Every structure is written in structure tokens, then in C-alpha cells.
Structure 1
């Protein structure tokens, strides 16, 4: 009975494989599935007839499957095993007594008797089972060998040190942040250089495993009803003197005691909810130490003086600000397009800034609508200026507001200059009643600054709509998806380096550029390192914008039937973590059947490499617009002159949908909010989604996330390893280390340890910077999609601070935890 039932199941499986196999072969794909279907069908029929030859035929199926899998993917466990697992498991079942005792052979052709069933104990002999048993055993041995083989890993060691001691960050002429104490963290990337590097060295590879939770604080601000889907917690707190400063997704500003995490004050700007916001988040606040005071002198303030200043600022019996109020300032961009200046000691609004403490960032903005423009990233703060950009909702309409960058006086809030990508030469403050250029490229991420050179470096996004650019003008084509260096004094363009020409893939420059001085053969060179969504890390001279590591223009696909013509070449950096182009053999799934579905989907899509133009048919975008790198950027060590990176690899599918008119809804019928990807006013809406299998797994094989170490002087990727597990992604909480994407960023320390928490499983992890080896991990209460930071408390302990609040569109668990780790006292 078991043999007949098994045979019937194999026939059904064979029919399914045959249908899909014929379809795939007709699309020019692999013939394996069609051949496998024949093996399943023949085996199934023989089992129904109870013929012992079923085992021999199926032994051939197992061996052919193993050889085919090895030919396609080699000894890559996570690619090899899913190809073979179902086939081998069926083989094991066929070897059990419940099946084999029912099998027999026909008698001699001279005998008229029908086939008889053999008893497993008496009539069935092991040599008859040997071919299938051997095939199963060989498959198991190959799988075991592949378990200890990782073809995606790169083994190596980064240099311990290549620069002189003067290369320490404290010796950099970093403008406002020159002389920052080792234990402080005064800007999003610690300084305006955006390195995400700390000189602290108490935590080392030898002792990091002893880290334990020192304290936990809950902000009370969590995702709730009426929030946009992408309500996320992406903040990196600041640490100044004895205080931590952070913001929350709903624009609250909170100050904590750096020793124990107790709350000092909080500020609520009363930003109303608005479902039209594409992003409800805050990545950080910014700090200014006060007029005529450098960070170095500010850090000399004693604990008693700080306490007295706080008390003085809180007392205002005459209704006027005290003398100490707002000497030090925290700048906070809100979700409703305001920029607040707050007293760092008390959290009170600085009434002398802007209009009673705030600037209305909607001023002079064309087509302004609440919820369509806001700032999610902390502004750049210099000695004299606070410089702020803004985010425009992607792919909603062509009737957008401006992508202008504005610089305000850090004390008064007076507009000093404005750089409008649609009118780049007119940087004097705009007149009342005039408007900036509508629908230009914008800077939604974080800028970097070098005050000694007098430049601010802007990572620019693309002009919406991302997938349609036939109507872009010359200035848009110049500034979209570029690094733009502006003069700090007047906002005029110093240089432009474009990372993608005529961007049709949403390849915004997403990351804060990192500034570092490199020891090159020609001498010390002021460098800028710009990570990109497509995986290139462009290493440029930050004085001139010229490449330090080679950049070549490579020929790319232009095949499009649309009137929007793709650019024939694209820049490619010598330092790149771009993944290889996808092939059909890279398609993946848990079984042969979802693999087959992904192969068919791959063959049906347009795909000729990472710059395949969008199409009505549907285009595979790889890397997807999630990006190899995103706003979390990378960490660079200015002493060792190396980078710690966290590349992610997920393919997306975009399909252009011809619009009937400017108002009809095509892709967001059931979605709340402004109509993401509708592109009202453009000829096409766009359906944009991850490239997933029918059972909601990525169609491309893992790894989907890595950690990698690179030498910035040579451009060599020295080591690379899978990062993260599928514990919080799979139906069962199995901690398989397949490598998952990271959305956050790393921090590096002089102790040779890097930290990150942004993987899609809920962990904070520590790594050896030299080798990339994971040294420690701890479970988080929610998704940690933020960049950690590290500081020194008043007792001299090095603390590691992690935010666990989750990410809405990624579906990670929401929370509100700020967690500090330290070595045991």
C-alpha cells in the first residue's frame, strides 16, 4: 500500500515538474527539471506496479540531481542542499521496509504467473538496494563537506596600522569638532567627518565577550495606529559631557544621564500625525558647543558647573532667558518640517533662534503639502551654520516641492545661503514671496563637513520619479545621484561627482560620506569615501572630487523600448562590493518547486546586469533599491586606514505601468498614505517589490548580508563573511547563519572591535576588525535597525549604546529600548 501511495505522489510531483520544466525550457532555461520529471514519473509508475526497478531508476535521479547541483553551485551548502534535499529525502523513504517489502520482480517470461511481492526479510536482498543506498550516502557526504565550505567567504587580515600617530582623529583639523575628547560622540558619525570611529580602546577582541547590560531606558514612543508603515527607529544618540541626546520616531527629544540612563529632560514639538509621510523616523539630533567655545574647552566644564548651568537655565523668574540658556544647543528636525534649537542643559526652546525657537522649513517651498516634505536626518552643524536638507516622498507625484539645501545662522536662525539644484548659481538668501525650483534632486541622508577646507559634502538623491527620466533637465542630470561639494561660506558648488548617470533605478547616494586622510604613494591625500546602493565605494580627493582609487566608465545595457533612453556607460570603482550579475543558477528556494518558479520568473523578466533599464514587461533590479549600502554607511579607521562595511544583497522587481491619466490609482489601491509609486503626472506608475518566491523567500540564493573589511589605500576587500541568521525571519526560530541584510550601520573602535545591530535578526554583534570574526552577540528585545555608538562614562568605563526599536517596512519587531553595554566593573 505504501509503495502505491508513494508512487501516486511521485507521479503528481513528476507532472508538476514536467509542466514547469517544459515552461522553463521554452524560455531558454535549464532542461534539468524536465529530465527530473521523467525520473519521477517512471519511478512513480514502477512503484504503483510494485516493481523493484523503481529503486534503480530513482538511484539515477539522485545521482543526476547531485551532479547537476554540484555543476551549478559547487560546495555551497545553502545553494546545494535545497536542490537535493527533497530528492534525497524521497530516496530515504524508498529504502524503508514499508516501501521495499512490497516490491518484487516479474517472473521469467516463460512463466505465466504474475509478479509477486517479496518479503523484505526473506526475498529482498541488500545488493538490490545498494545503488539507491549508495546514491543517498554519497549525497549526504557531499552535503557534510559543503557544510564546512563557504565559497562566498574571503579570509584575510587587515593591516594593524599604516599611519603615523598624527593620523589620530584628534589631530585632524575638523573645524568645530577639533579636539573632541576620546569618550565623546558629538555628531551623527561622531564628528563632522562621519567616520563612525571612536579612539576608545578599553573593549578589545580579548574581553568583548564579557560585555553585559549596564542599563536600559524605554522612551515610551512606539509605533501605533495612524502611523505610516515605515515608522522606524533609526537614531544614533550623541554624548556630550555627562549627557546623552537622542530623538524618537515622533520627533521627541530626550536627554539621558550617560552613567545610568535616567531621564534628564524631554521635549515634545507636538508634531501632528500624518499618514502621508513615507517615513516616520528620526536618525539623530545635532549639537553646537556655543559661540566662541570649541568642543575641547566645552569638555573642561566640571560636573558642578554643569549642574549649576542646568539649574540656572531652568529658573526664569522674570520671564526672560537666563545668561546660560542656549549657550550649548541641540538642533532637531521634525517630521512636520520644522527645525528647533533647544538648550542642551534644560531642553527649553531657544527663543532667539528663528521664530521663537524654530524655523519653518516649508518657507519658500513650491507645491508644499504636509506629509510630503520633512527631514529625517540630523543637520550638519559648523562653527557658524546649521545646514539642513529634506526628504521628498519617492515616486508619488511629479508635482513635488524643492530639494533645496539651506544654511542658517547657528545662533539667530537667519538664512545665510541656499543651494537649489534647479538654480545652483544663485545662493544668496531667497526673497520673501519667491519659490525654490520644484521637483529637484534632494538630500535626505546625512552630509559631512571639513571646516579646514571650507566644504560641506552632500549625498544627493534622484529626482522623482526614480524609474522615469525622459523629462529631466540638464541641471537635474548633473546633480542627481551625486556627491556635491559646496563652499561653506556661500553655498556655491566646488565640485560634483556623479555615481550614476541618468539614474533609473532609485540608486540615490544614501550614505553619509566618510572623510579621512590617506597615506598614498604620492603623499598624504585628503579623501572622501562614498558608499553607494549599487555597491561601489568611491574614494575621491575631497578637495577636487577627482578619484583616488581608479574609476572607469563601463558599457552597460541600453535595451529599452521606451522613449526614455538609458545612459550607455556608468562609473565603476576599483573598490566595490557589487555582487556578481545574477544567472538562472542563482535562483533559490526551499524545494525544487519554488526554485523552478523562481527560474521561470527570472527568465520572464528583463535582465542584462545591474543597469538594465525599467520596462513594462518587468525588470530585475540587482542590487535592488534597498541597496548594497544605505543610510547606515560604513565605518572607517583613520589610523589603520581601513573600512568596516556591511553589504546587503536583495534583488527587486520593477514594472512600469502605463498611466491612463494623471489621477487614476494603479498600484496603491489598498495602501494608506499618499499613493507611493503612483507617479501622478508621469506617463508610468511603477510596481516595485522584492524578488520573492511563491512561499515568500528570496528568489536569489543566500548570502543576503555580509560583513567585509577593505583597505582604503589599495582598494582590496581583504576579508568577507556571512552575517546574521534567519531566526526572526523563518516560520521556525532556527538560527541558521545564512547571512541577512543589515539596515543600520557599524561603529569601529581603536580597540580593534566593531559593533553593529542592524541585521534583520534581533542581535547586537561585535567583530574583530582585523579578521572579521564574530566575537560576541546579545539578543535584543526588538529590531536594532540603527547605528550603535560608544562613549566613556564618568567612571571611565567604555559603554556601547544600542537602539532597539524596529523597522516598519522590514517588519521587524517594534520597540523603544535604549540599551547600554559595558564590561563588568
Structure 2
């Protein structure tokens, strides 16, 4: 009976592998799967005929599979396992008495012998030895150390923020995500314990859009923490114990057309002209998902009615088109020189008639418009006259700005004009400013410089991250005001922030062509000498938990259009790698301005995009919700786009892990010192497996003078601490929900240093939702 059941299984496997393998061969792929299918079928036939040679035939399959796997991927366990796992398990089964005995023979003396196991046992044992050896190696690990010496003895942090406080999204206007606190060190961080926990009460709702996320980094001013929630509540907490001081609900409502429901932070401002103790001397500005900016008294959460229209600034003003739910601000504006400067997120790929991506500066006290900079009309920065409107669909900035008030510039990461994948009919100004960093004059909004990182962007490669500012000491000892710009495509651009010119060189390289007939591609694209851009995918990089889903991914790899980075969108479907989540995203990187090193979390997850002719797009349904994944309609355009991660039949990535790392960079030399896999599959699988494969993440890091980096972000629910010098993990704490936010740190009046992490989950990556604010400190 065991022989029959085994033979039937082999026949099923053989037919599946053979048919899929034949398809793969016709597409120009590997012949192994066809060979394996035929060997399974041949083994099955010989088993049914009770021929001992079946073990010899299967031994050939084991030997060929082992040789083929090592030839393709070397001694990488996570790649070898899917290639050989089922084959070796079946090999072990064939060696059992239940299979060998029926294949045996009777000697002339009448003794019955099972089939000789050794022809099959030897290659099976060899394969197991290779598997065990591969578990001890990590071909993807780059070990090394960052320099430990202090380069800048009096570093510029930006602003005037006390060491124990955190006044802006990146702590200071420079966005370094660096704290000069050193109570928590590499030596004692493993002793961190939870100090307090607060739940906001703002939880994900059944009618929320898929992209409902909790990305906030709290501010700490005086003895108070200020934060916002996905549905636009502003909350103040006692920094010592997490007790709520006040809460304000913006009542921004629900709208299924919003692509995002999130708030990354609030903006704090203190008006020196108002006497202490007077109302609204200290303010918190709350951006909302219905396109408002609300001024609140920081002491009690009451609306500051002197700002704009009874405390509320309406950001839809000046838009030619204003579809509800298509425009909002997800990131905190910046407060500088008596102004509050704000951009706005525009839904990707919804319509050709959406709001403008204009950047505006308002009087921080009155809410009066001072200047506007519209990348579709960049020269007119004086307030727009009554009756005129900003450029429809001009590139927007949904991320966080940085400021150098000494140079008088605000630095803005810009996105693309929607529809992202369709580049026809873009103006010269849009082509100039899309996917760039621009420096604007704080007082006038006039352009000071622009540096573009993707030409004629067809891939949604927005510049997603807050630029990081520091004064960089070059190898010759000279000091240059620098700007560090992480990008989705994995390049790190280090520029002179006075002029936008490169400090670390970058160059133009040829880019693939082959756009749809109505469009074109840029012949070259820039790439920095400091880059985390991955090597182009190959068929051997396709992955799965078994031969079968790996085979399916290999077939899809050949069916989709792919010629490396910047392969243009197509009707057949295109692989986009790095994908839309980006190698770096809004979490940016953390920079130690004293040691002049960078800590980041490069992520690698391929996406696919497929253009859909407008005539083939179904009518809009009543239950549609905003999303960047799935069908993006592009109303008014000749094509929509169907997009999402490149996944196999089991909804796991088609590309092999690792998908996520932590990495360290010496910014003075541009040298990547280390890259280590980050995160486990604990929350990606039905069983809480601890396997450290390096998982995707979205969020940001923080570093401290104590030499410790803190990072959540990964799709397993942990907050972790790392040694900044070598990237090795030092500590971790299990979070009750996804930690897709950036941690921060502060001290209280008793000089205790706290680490604070928000855990609320992220709809895009499917982590567990929640409403937690958690503080840790040393015992």
C-alpha cells in the first residue's frame, strides 16, 4: 500500500513539475523542473513495477538537484531549502522499510532482503550535510565597524533644543533623529524595562481604508509629550508617567476615497511675543486627513481662535479641483521664522483632476498666506491672486521638511505628478522638479536650488524621506554644510546644502527603454556612489517555500517585463525593483553628527505594475476603498494601473530573502561598513517562528550619543536596539502591535532617560493594529 500511495504522489508531483517545467523552458528558463518532473514520473513507474532501480533513479535526481542548487545559489540555506526540501524528504521516505522491502529480492537460501539503500542514502546524507553547513553561513552578511572617534567636538544639531527634549519630528529642524543623551549605552541597554504604557483609544475601524497606519513620533517639550493618532486626535501626556493631560478630536470624519489615514506628528511652537501663562503662547499644530491645519493651546488642547478661521486653516483653498478625500496632510509642517510651512499628500493614481502639490508658508500667528511655491508654476511665489488656482496634479510633498534657518532655506522632498506611471503631457517644470529635493528661500519661497534623483519618473519613486542636515567634516579637514537624502531606489545622495552640488559623487547610467507608444523613457538615470540599490533580479532569485511556488514565481518572472532598475511600465506587466515601498521610505535614516555616521534600514521588496486600458477598467463600485495596491483607476487617463508586491501563489514574496537589513555608513568616506539581516518571520507565518531571515519594514531609526540605535519598523512586532558601531542587536522588546513608527528619547526632571515607541500597526504591510504608546527606561 505504501508503494502505491507513494507512486500516486510521485505521479501528481511529476505531472505538475513536468508541465510547469515545460512552460518555463518555453519561456527561456531553467530545465531543472522539467527534468525533476520526468524523474518523479520515472521513479513512480519503477515503484509500481517493484523495481529496485527506482532508488537509483531517484538518487540521480537528488545528486542533480543538489549540484544544481549549489550552482545557482551557493550555500544559502533559505535558497537551498525550497529547492531540495521536498526532494530530500521523499528520499528519506524511500529509504524506509515500507518502501525498500517490497523492492527487495529473495536469496537462493530463501532469505528476503530489502532493496540496497546506499545508492540513495549516500546522496541524501550528502544533501543533509550541505543543508546543515549552509545553516552556519550567511552569504548576505557584511560585517564591519564604523569609526568610533568623535569628529565634530561641537556638532551642529540644528535649532535650540535642550538635550533631554524632542521638539520636532526628527528632534530638531535638521532631522537627524539623533539624541545627545548617553545614559543608555551599549553596555546597559539590555536592562531596559517597560516604564509605562498608554492606550489612545483610537483604534482601526471596520470602515477604515486599507492604508490606515500609526506612524507618529511624539514630541517632548518641558514635561509633556505631544502626539497625534491616525484619526487626527491630538493628545498630551505627562512625560514622567504617561498619564493623559488632554485630548482633542479634530472630527475629520471618514472617507473611503482617502488613500491614507494616518498622522506622523504634530508641530510645536512657542510665541516669544506672548507673556508666559497667557493662552496660546505655546501651540500644537495638528494636520488632518480632511485637509485642515488646526492650532491648539499646548497647555490644554483648546483651539487657538486667533489663527486663520477660528483656529482652522483650510488647505483646499486655491485648488482648481477638490475631490473629497484626495488631498490631506499626513506629515507635520515646519515652524520657522514666524512661519508655518506645509505641503500635502495627493492620492496616487486616482484621477487627472486632483489637487495641486503646492508648498505654502503661512504666518504662524495669523494664518495669513505669505508665499506659495507650486512646482508646476515655480516662479510665482507671491500669494496667488483671487480667482487663480494652483497647478492641477503638480508634484507634491507628503513627507517631512528640514530647515537651516542660518542659510535661510527649507529643504523639501518632492514626489511625482500623478498618474505616476504615465509620463505623457508633463510640462517642462514638472519634468524638472519631479522626484527631487528642492531648497526654497524661507522668507520668499523662491527656488534656491533643485537636485533631481529620477528623470521622467514612471515608477512612483518619490523622494520619500526627510532630508538630514549635518555639518560634514571632509577628509581634508574642511567642513561643508551637508544634506543627506535617502531615496526609494536605494541611493543615498550627500549634497552641499548651500548649492545642491554633490559631496559624494553620482553619475548618469543608461536606463532601459521600451515605454508604451504614447510615452517615453529617460535615456539615463542618476546613481550615487553611495548606494544600497540591489543587483538586478535573475530567475535564480525567485523563491517559494517549495519547488512548486518557486516554479510559479520563475514562470511569472519570465512572463513579466524586466530589464533591471527603471524598466518602464507595460501592458504585459513590469517588475519594479526596488519596489514602490522603496529601499528607504518616510522613516528616513538617523545620523550621528558627532561621529558623522549613518544608521539605516534598507528594505528590498519587488513590486509589479500592469497598465490597464481605460476601456477595460470596470465602473466604480460603491465599496471601493483607497489603496496604493490593486487597481488604481487614473480617471481621465488612457490607462489605469494594477500594482502590488511581487508575490507567489502562497502570498509570500517571489524574490528570495533577505528582504530587510540594518546598515551603517561612514558619511565622510561614503563607505558602507556593515549590513545585517533584520527581523524574523514571527508575525508573517501561522506559527510564531523565530527564523531571522531579514524581513521588510517601514518606519525609521533613532540613534543616541550612548552608541545605541533604536528601530521598530520590521513586520515582526518588536522594538530593537543595536550597536551603532557594528550593527549587532543588543536588546529587543515584544510589542503588542506593529511598530511602524520612529522611536524617540528624552529625559525627565529626575534625569531618567526614556525610550518611547508607538505601536499601532500599518495597513499596507498587514501588521497588527493597536493604539499603544510605550516607554522604556533602565531599572
TM range (shorter): over 0.9
Q: Which residue of 1 aligns with 2:124?
A: 136
Q: What's the CA shift string for 1:97-121, capped at 9, x where partnerless? A: 111111136999xxxxxxx9x97xx
Structure 1: how far apart are the matches of 2:538 and 2:567?
Answer: 14
How far residue 492 of structure 1 moved from its aligned partner, in angstroms, is 0.3
How far residue 528 of structure 1 moved from its aligned partner, in angstroms, is 0.5
Q: Which residue of 1 aligns with 2:100?
A: 100
Tell me, yes or no, if structure 1 residue 493 matches structure 2 residue 452.
no
Aligned pairs for 1:689-704 (under 5 A) are: 689-704=644-659
Structure 1: how far apart are the matches of 2:168 and 2:695?
Answer: 28
Q: What's the CA shift string for 1:620-655, capped at 9, x where partnerless? A: 111111111111111011011111010111111100
Residue 615 of structure 2 aligns to a residue in which SS?
A: coil
Residue 13 of structure 2 aligns to a residue in which SS?
A: helix
TM-score, normalised to structure 1, is 0.92
CA RMSD of aligned residues (A): 1.8
Q: What's the CA shift string for 1:402-451, capped at 9, x where partnerless? A: 11000011111111111011111111111233211111000011111100
Tell me, yes or no, if structure 1 residue 383 matches structure 2 residue 337.
yes
Q: Which residue of 2 aligns with 1:251?
A: 232
Residue 113 of structure 2 aligns to a residue in which SS?
A: coil
Q: What's the CA shift string for 1:631-686, capped at 9, x where partnerless? A: 1111011011111010111111100111129xx53797863349961001111110
Aligned pairs for 1:213-612 (under 5 A) are: 213-291=194-272, 309=277, 324-522=278-476, 523-612=478-567
Q: What's the CA shift string for 1:575-609, capped at 9, x where partnerless? A: 11111100000000111111111000000110000
Structure 2: how far apart are the matches of 1:131 and 1:257?
Answer: 72
Structure 2: how far apart are the matches of 1:666 and 1:583?
Answer: 38
Q: Which residue of 2 aligns with 1:314?
A: none
How far residue 369 of structure 1 moved from its aligned partner, in angstroms, is 2.0
Tell me, yes or no, if structure 1 residue 14 matches structure 2 residue 4.
no
Aligned pairs for 1:668-683 (under 5 A) are: 671-673=624-626, 677-683=632-638
Q: Which residue of 1 aligns with 2:29?
A: 29
How far residue 515 of structure 1 moved from its aligned partner, in angstroms, is 0.4
Q: Which moved more, 1:688-697 or 1:233-242?
A: 688-697
Q: Which residue of 2 aligns with 1:319?
A: none
Tell me, yes or no, if structure 1 residue 646 matches structure 2 residue 611.
no
Match of 2:660 among 683, 702, 705: 705
Q: Say whether the 8 Å CA contact 2:256–2:624 is kept in structure 1.
A: no
Q: Say whether the 8 Å CA contact 1:396–1:676 is kept in structure 2.
A: no
Structure 2: how far apart are the matches of 1:434 and 1:738?
Answer: 54
Residue 10 of structure 1 aligns to a residue in which SS?
A: helix
How far residue 531 of structure 1 moved from its aligned partner, in angstroms, is 0.6
Q: Say whether the 8 Å CA contact 1:765–1:778 is kept in structure 2.
A: yes
Residue 692 of structure 2 aligns to a residue in which SS?
A: coil
Q: Which moved more, 1:143-152 or 1:277-286?
A: 143-152
Structure 2: how far apart are the matches of 1:165 and 1:521?
Answer: 16
Residue 132 of structure 2 aligns to a residue in which SS?
A: helix
Q: Say whether the 8 Å CA contact 1:62–1:88 is kept in structure 2.
A: yes
Structure 2: how far apart are the matches of 1:704 and 1:667?
Answer: 35
Residue 117 of structure 2 aligns to a residue in which SS?
A: helix
Structure 2: how far apart are the matches of 1:742 and 1:204?
Answer: 25
Q: What's the CA shift string for 1:775-805, capped at 9, x where partnerless? A: 1111111111111101112211110000010
Q: Say whether the 8 Å CA contact 1:4–1:50 is kept in structure 2.
A: no
Structure 2: how far apart are the matches of 1:581 and 1:7?
Answer: 40
Q: What's the CA shift string for 1:259-310, capped at 9, x where partnerless? A: 00000111112212111111000000011122369xxxx9xxxxxx8xxx4x
Q: Say whether the 8 Å CA contact 1:744–1:787 is kept in structure 2.
A: yes
Q: Say whether the 8 Å CA contact 1:52–1:105 is kept in structure 2.
A: no
Q: Say whether the 8 Å CA contact 1:708–1:772 is kept in structure 2.
A: yes
Residue 736 of structure 1 aligns to a residue in which SS?
A: coil
Structure 2: how far apart are the matches of 1:433 and 1:355?
Answer: 20
How far residue 745 of structure 1 moved from its aligned partner, in angstroms, is 0.3
Q: Say whether the 8 Å CA contact 1:659–1:666 is kept in structure 2.
A: no
Q: Say whether the 8 Å CA contact 1:291–1:383 is kept in structure 2.
A: no
Q: Say whether the 8 Å CA contact 1:456–1:486 is kept in structure 2.
A: yes
Q: Which residue of 2 aligns with 1:124?
A: 114
Q: Which moved more, 1:459-468 or 1:144-153?
A: 144-153
Residue 281 of structure 1 aligns to a residue in which SS?
A: coil
Q: Which residue of 2 aligns with 1:44?
A: 44
Gap regions ≥5 residues in structure 2: none
Q: What's the CA shift string for 1:375-394, capped at 9, x where partnerless? A: 00000111311000001110
Q: Say whether the 8 Å CA contact 2:152–2:595 is kept in structure 1.
A: no
Structure 2: how far apart are the matches of 1:228 and 1:35?
Answer: 47
Structure 2: how far apart are the matches of 1:281 and 1:714?
Answer: 37
How far residue 466 of structure 1 moved from its aligned partner, in angstroms, is 0.5
Q: Say whether the 8 Å CA contact 1:803–1:818 is kept in structure 2.
A: yes
Q: What's the CA shift string for 1:473-514, capped at 9, x where partnerless? A: 101101110101001110000000001000000000000000
TM-score, normalised to structure 2, is 0.97
How far residue 559 of structure 1 moved from its aligned partner, in angstroms, is 2.1
Structure number with greater Rg is 1
Q: Say whether the 8 Å CA contact 1:481–1:509 is kept in structure 2.
A: yes
Q: Say whether the 8 Å CA contact 1:258–1:793 is kept in structure 2.
A: yes
Q: Which residue of 2 aligns with 1:720?
A: 675
Q: Which residue of 1 aligns with 2:151?
A: 163
Q: How many residues of Structure 1 are paired with residues of Structure 2 in the alignment?
A: 776
Distance 1:584 1:670, change over 3 A: farther
Q: Say whether the 8 Å CA contact 1:665–1:678 is kept in structure 2.
A: no
Structure 1: how far apart are the matches of 2:465 and 2:156?
Answer: 23
Q: Which moved more, 1:564-573 or 1:96-105?
A: 96-105
Q: Which residue of 2 aligns with 1:153?
A: 141
Structure 2: how far apart are the matches of 1:52 and 1:794?
Answer: 80
Aligned pairs for 1:745-784 (under 5 A) are: 745-784=700-739
Q: Say whether the 8 Å CA contact 1:365–1:436 is kept in structure 2.
A: yes
Q: Say whether the 8 Å CA contact 1:667–1:677 is kept in structure 2.
A: no
Structure 2: how far apart are the matches of 1:778 and 1:706?
Answer: 18
How far residue 12 of structure 1 moved from its aligned partner, in angstroms, is 1.8
Q: Say whether the 8 Å CA contact 1:668–1:676 is kept in structure 2.
A: no
Q: Say whether the 8 Å CA contact 2:176–2:468 is kept in structure 1.
A: yes
Q: Say whether the 8 Å CA contact 1:398–1:464 is kept in structure 2.
A: yes
Residue 660 of structure 1 aligns to a residue in which SS?
A: helix
Q: Which residue of 1 aligns with 2:175?
A: 194
Q: Which residue of 2 aligns with 1:87?
A: 87
Residue 101 of structure 1 aligns to a residue in which SS?
A: helix
Structure 2: how far apart are the matches of 1:183 and 1:50?
Answer: 78
Q: Say whether the 8 Å CA contact 1:253–1:332 is kept in structure 2.
A: yes
Q: Which moved more, 1:676-685 or 1:697-706?
A: 676-685
Q: Which residue of 1 aligns with 2:618?
A: 665
Structure 1: how far apart are the matches of 2:515 and 2:219?
Answer: 47
Q: What's the CA shift string for 1:158-185, capped at 9, x where partnerless? A: 011241311253xxxx3xx22x111100
Residue 494 of structure 2 aligns to a residue in which SS?
A: strand
Q: Say whether the 8 Å CA contact 1:708–1:721 is kept in structure 2.
A: yes
Distance 1:668 1:65, change over 3 A: farther
Distance 1:655 1:769, change over 3 A: same
Structure 1: how far apart are the matches of 2:631 and 2:615?
Answer: 17
